[in-house]
Amino acid sequence: MQQPKVSILTPFKNTETFLPECIESIINQTYSNWELVIVDDGSTDNSFDVVSTYTEQDRRIKLSINKGIGIISALRQALEQASGTLVTRMDSDDIMAPHKLEVLTHNLITYGKTHVAVGLVEYFCKDGVGKGYKNYEAWLNTLTRTGTNYSEIYKECVIPSPCWMVYKSDLIACDAFNPDIYPEDYDLTFRFYKNHYKCIPCDQILHYWRDYPSRTSRTHIHYAHNHFTALKARHFIAIDYDPDKTLVIWGAGNKGKTAAKILLDHGIPFEWICNNPNKIGRKIYGKTMHPFSTLKTMEHTQSIITVANKKAQKEIRAFFAQLHLKPITDYVFFC
């Protein structure tokens, strides 16, 4: 039986230092029926020449220059050029585990369409991986081991951008990378969720995620936290908002204010509560701030929690448990 072809979508920009290790990790995959559709998104270093050298050695590598501007345009172009039945993404500064494509392909074929094959990830950095990234790695891998990624989708991106695989037809069906919505990996995760694509559990490390100071997710404005909050709020309104319940925002920090503005812009009514005595009783954007205790007097509520303090989050979860409220249906954590 012929193995299905896997199209690997890889935008790159000024990553000449890391490209050889990345491409060689693809060439050395145990699964051989793949094509690397790699797009130069305006590099000013020698990245294009580095990739060109590999195209001369391996016909499976298809190199082009982005006709537009930005990573989403490059991904869109790569998808248009992809000829594989299955599609995955790879970041040009990362490394694939040797069996990555084999495991993802096997899992996806086993479960079939409308599924997302995912794998465990591991951060690495020559100067050591920071605590925040290690915590994210552990949290993300815990979800992936059980395939329960969507259970905390509003908290953070629950599918790592370079470690998923889907049928190309499913990627097109959810209108991936169109229009330009950043952060594009988180937006795509919400599209999978909205279309009810189920995540396939996996307990193997398949991707090595490189961290370094100039990494795009650290430096580009499109990956700032205000963009994440705005994206969460818009997808929440489109997917999970229940107009038959009283919507409540918890917290009046920057994330709470961003969410509130978007709700106001959409004409969605809500109550606003916080635990800051200096804000309780005051109005923000014309909405009066109430204490947390107000929630006990409300019935049929749906809450957006923007409180970042870990201790407070545990107390909030315990409070919801006492009221027999369920995640997603009755409350979502935005941080």
Which strand (E) or helix (H) includes residue 318? helix 310-322
Q: What is the pLDDT of residues 232-279, one digit of tens each?
A: 999 999 999 999 999 999 999 999 999 999 999 999 999 999 989 999
pLDDT of amino acid 215: 63
- Contact (CB, 8 A) for 216 and 272: no
According to the model, what pLDDT value does residue 9 have?
98
For position 229, what pLDDT does the model report? 93
pLDDT at residue 226 in the model: 61
b/e burial code for range 249-279 (CB count within 10 A of at least 16 → b):
bbbbeebbbbbbebbeeeeeebbbbbbeeeb
pLDDT at 219: 46
CATH number of 6-223: 3.90.550.10
CA dihedral sign, ordered 251, 257, 261, 264: positive
Residues with Cβ within 8 Å of 169's Cβ and at least 6 positions away in sequence, in order, are 113
19-27 and 47-57 are packed helices; what angle lies between their axes, rounded to 10 degrees?
A: 20
Domain locations in the chain?
6-223, 244-333
Q: What would the CATH number be for the domain defined by 244-333?
A: 3.40.50.20
Tokens found for residue 312: 């407070």
**CATH topology match: 6-223 vs 244-333:** no
Ranges in the chain, pLDDT < 50:
218-219, 222-223
**pTM metric for this prediction:** 0.93
d(CA 78, CA 76): 5
Identify the pLDDT of residue 223: 46
